[in-house]
Amino acid sequence: MGLDLLHPEKWVDRYSDYLYNYTIVRVNDHEIAQDLISETFLAGLKSKDNFKGDASERTWLISILKRKIIDHYRRINSNKGKAEIRVNYSGEDSEGDWLEERVKDPFDKTAEDSLENEELGLAILNCLGKLDDRQAQIFKKKTIENFDTEAICNEFNITPSNLWVIIHRVRRSLAMCLQNNWF
């Protein structure tokens, strides 16, 4: 059933930028972020039969990616990883790795999840507020509002290369800001 609702052949084009933006602020390492996204796509393929269509593909992939990020921090045994596990672990006695087949329902939010998301959202807005206004606008249009590259380049009179340099710099600035003020 899941495969009828999913389009894995389009995941890279549709979601890789979004998943990267989500991941890079949490791991602050380009290669690790790419590896986690690849693992997410693979896990999605392996567990496609469990996709019910209650959430969007993107939301479902983010649910898998969250577990991959937690697994990453569990592997390196960091305090940040331990904190994320306390928030996201379902409480079962199992010590094994997360199973993609057990991705929790993204609509099943606890008060703690909602509070954490609200606090993170405020931290991101605070960090965006510290950026150059033009850079912040460009970043928001590309990564949050999903504007087309050409439209952004035309509006701000920049080349696609300039756009990606700006996006990269903003990501680095946000990662550093969040690292200092959130994690």
Are both 103 and 164 inside the same structural domain? Answer: no
3 state SS for 13-62: HHHHHHHHHHHHHHHCCHHHHHHHHHHHHHHHHHCHHHCCCCCCHHHHHH
Host domain of residue 153? 110-183
pTM of the model: 0.44
pLDDT given at position 119? 67
Are both 55 and 88 inside the same structural domain? Answer: yes
Each residue's pLDDT expressed in tens, for the chain with a length of 183 residues: 444 678 888 888 888 888 988 888 888 888 889 999 999 999 888 888 888 877 888 888 988 998 888 888 777 765 444 444 444 444 443 444 444 444 444 444 454 455 455 666 777 777 878 888 899 889 888 877 788 889 999 999 999 889 888 988 888 888 888 777 665
In tens, the pLDDT along 111-129 reads: 445 545 566 677 777 787 8
Please check whether residue 103 is in contact with residue 60, taking contact to mean a CB–CB distance below 8 angstroms: yes
In tens, the pLDDT along 148-181 reads: 889 999 999 999 889 888 988 888 888 888 777 6
Q: What is the CATH number of the domain that holds 177?
A: 1.10.10.10
Are both 34 and 51 inside the same structural domain? Answer: yes
Number of H helices, E strands in the chain: 9, 0
Burial class (CB in 10 A: 0-12, 13-18, 19+), 38: middle
Terminus-to-terminus CA distance in the chain, angstroms? 39
